[in-house]
């Protein structure tokens, strides 16, 4: 990259409802779940499922869940994304904006703001705040940003930062963020990743014959891994564990947030949290590396719901390791990537 290129930066996250009111949560869930990369059924079936079945039943429950984590400044995910924007802005000369895949602020708002601040802008570097490639997270955020960029014929080039699940700076930041928690007594570290349907993994297999078909597929080299969420989560776990010198029996991986009845990636976090105390694991550390910003799924589903499951099953201590949020090593890594 030419150092004189006039650039802006957009940090892209998932987004949250505008408020915890059921009507705003409904609007958000409708937009989110009608995304064909999230619920991948044909349009009419998706419409029936989302508008007729999932949202009417889920909205009030979700709104209540959001109320338990909402802050004076708003949704944790949005507030933390803004704090990350401010922290990165202190490290780089280029203007930094945030954009959400669903809800506000949109990529258009972010692009318009950059253009206003820098009318001769030549390039926008978009950083998906997802370390791993999934059709329902990284891919949809990137494709949406590209669509908005093309539709409004912005005069700048759009560059996307690739998934960084195995990037040294990301792994190092994650490992360092865990170190203070490893000082306490613990039996096990659970790496809990947001789940996806197994079907999505099969669909994303660019070879058509590797993922979930070859024995121990995620540990057997394949070009399919460029888009395999399961492989990428496995690698993050292995690399962090190696970096920290965690023995093999001291950590494991699981997948959370299952929605619907189809098979999602296993093992399910909720199931493992109920089983672990019976296996003699009474003191647990849990982290959620698929998210770089704490959100409903870490603060409510795991830190509250997951803790309850574990303690009721006989656990003695449950410690949640926060996401990277505005960790200085993470901010430094982002600054390095966008300036490369």
Ligand X SMILES: C=CC1=C(C)c2cc3[nH]c(cc4nc(cc5[nH]c(cc1n2)c(C)c5CCC(=O)O)C(CCC(=O)O)=C4C)c(C)c3C=C
Residues contributing to the annotated binding site for Fe(2+):
194, 297
Please tell me the distance from the alpha carbon of residue 323 to that of residue 293, in angstroms, as a whole number.
Answer: 5
**Residue 62 binding: pick among ligand X, Fe ion, none (C-beta 5-8 Å cut-off by kind):** ligand X
Q: Contact with ligand X (CB under 6 A): which of 84, 196, 201, 334?
A: 196
The Cβ of residue 165 has, within 10 Å, a number of other Cβ atoms equal to: 24
Does position 139 interact with ligand X (CB under 6 A)? The reply is no
Residue 211 in the binding site for Fe ion (CB under 5 A) = yes
Out of 224, 239, 290, 333, which residue is the one contacting ligand X (CB under 6 A)?
A: 290
Largest CA distance in the chain: 62
296 binds ligand X (CB under 6 A): yes
Which of 160, 127, 132, 136 has the alpha carbon at shortest distance from 218?
132
Q: What x/- string results for residues 170 through 209 when contact with Fe ion is judged by CB under 5 A?
A: ----------------------------------------
3-class secondary-structure state, position 85:
helix
| Coil vs helix vs strand at 154 | coil
CA–CA gap between residue 270 and residue 283 (Å, rounded): 16
Binder of ligand X out of 9, 11, 50, 77 (CB under 6 A): 77
- Contacting ligand X (CB under 6 A), which of 34, 49, 182, 259? 259
List the single partner that 231 binds among Fe ion, ligand X, none, CB under 5 to 8 Å by kind: Fe ion
- Between helix 168-182 and helix 229-244 the angle, nearest 10°, is 60
Which residues touch 238 (CB under 8 Å, ≥6 apart)? none
Q: Which stretch binds ligand X (CB under 6 A): 144-152, 214-222, 293-301, 332-340?
A: 293-301
Q: Please check whether residue 240 is in contact with residue 174, taking contact to mean a CB–CB distance below 8 angstroms.
A: yes
What does 242-300 look like in DSSP terms, one character per residue? Answer: HHHT--GGGEEEEEE---SSS-BSSSBHHHHHHHGGGGT--EEEEE-TT-SS--HIIII
Q: Is 134 in the site for ligand X (CB under 6 A)?
A: yes
Residue 332 engages ligand X in binding (rule: CB under 6 A) = no
User: What φ, ψ does residue 307 adopt, rounded to 5°?
Assistant: -60, -45
**Part in contact with ligand X (CB under 6 A); list of ranges 154-162, 191-199, 215-223, 230-238:** 191-199
Among positions 20-59, residues that touch ligand X (CB under 6 A) are 29, 38, 58
96 lies in the binding site for ligand X (CB under 6 A)? no
Task: Compare residues 40 and 112 and give the one whose CB is closer to ligand X.
Answer: 40
User: Count H helices, E strands: the chain?
Assistant: 13, 8
* 320 counts as binding ligand X under rule CB under 6 A: no
- Beta pairing partners, 191: 253, 287
Q: How far is the CB of 270 from ligand X (least distance, A)?
A: 13
Q: Is 297 in the site for ligand X (CB under 6 A)?
A: yes
Quote the CA–CA distance of 39 and 181 in Å, as a whole number. Answer: 37
- Binding interface with ligand X (CB under 6 A): 14, 16, 29, 38, 58, 62, 75, 77, 130, 134, 136-137, 194, 196-197, 257, 259, 290-291, 295-297
- Binding interface with Fe ion (CB under 5 A): 211, 217-218, 228, 230-231
């Amino acid at each position: 990259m030419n150092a004189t290129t006039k650039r802006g930066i957009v940090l892209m996250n998932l987004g949250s409802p505008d408020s915890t009111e059921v009507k705003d949560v409904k609007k958000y869930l409708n937009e989110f779940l009608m995304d064909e990369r999230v619920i991948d059924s044909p349009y009419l079936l998706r419409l029936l499922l989302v508008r007729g079945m999932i949202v009417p039943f889920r909205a009030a429950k979700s709104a209540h869940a959001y109320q338990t984590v909402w802050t004076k400044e708003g949704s944790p995910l949005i507030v933390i994304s803004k704090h990350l924007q401010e922290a990165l802005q202190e490290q780089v000369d280029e203007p930094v904006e945030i954009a959400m895949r669903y809800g506000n602020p949109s990529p258009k708002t972010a692009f318009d703001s950059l253009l206003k601040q820098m009318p001769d802008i030549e390039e926008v570097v978009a950083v998906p705040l997802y370390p791993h490639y999934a059709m329902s997270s990284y891919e949809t955020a990137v494709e949406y940003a590209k669509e908005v960029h093309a539709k409004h014929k912005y005069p700048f080039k759009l560059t996307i930062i690739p998934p960084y699940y195995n990037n040294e700076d990301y792994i190092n930041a994650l490992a360092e963020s865990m170190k203070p928690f490893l000082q306490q007594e613990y039996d096990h570290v659970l790496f809990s990743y947001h789940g996806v349907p197994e079907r999505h993994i099969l669909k994303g297999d660019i070879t058509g014959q590797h993922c979930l078909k070859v024995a121990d597929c995620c540990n057997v080299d394949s070009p399919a891994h460029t888009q395999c969420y399961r492989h990428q989560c496995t690698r993050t776990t292995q690399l962090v564990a190696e970096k920290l010198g965690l023995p093999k029996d001291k950590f494991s991986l699981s997948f959370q947030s299952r929605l619907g009845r189809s098979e999602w990636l296993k093992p399910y976090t909720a199931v493992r949290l109920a089983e672990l105390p019976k296996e003699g694991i009474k003191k647990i550390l849990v982290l959620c590396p698929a998210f770089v910003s704490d959100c409903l799924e870490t603060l409510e589903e795991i830190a509250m719901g997951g803790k309850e499951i574990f303690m009721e099953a006989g656990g003695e201590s449950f410690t949640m390791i926060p996401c990277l949020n505005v960790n200085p090593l993470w901010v430094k890594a982002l600054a390095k990537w966008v300036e490369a």
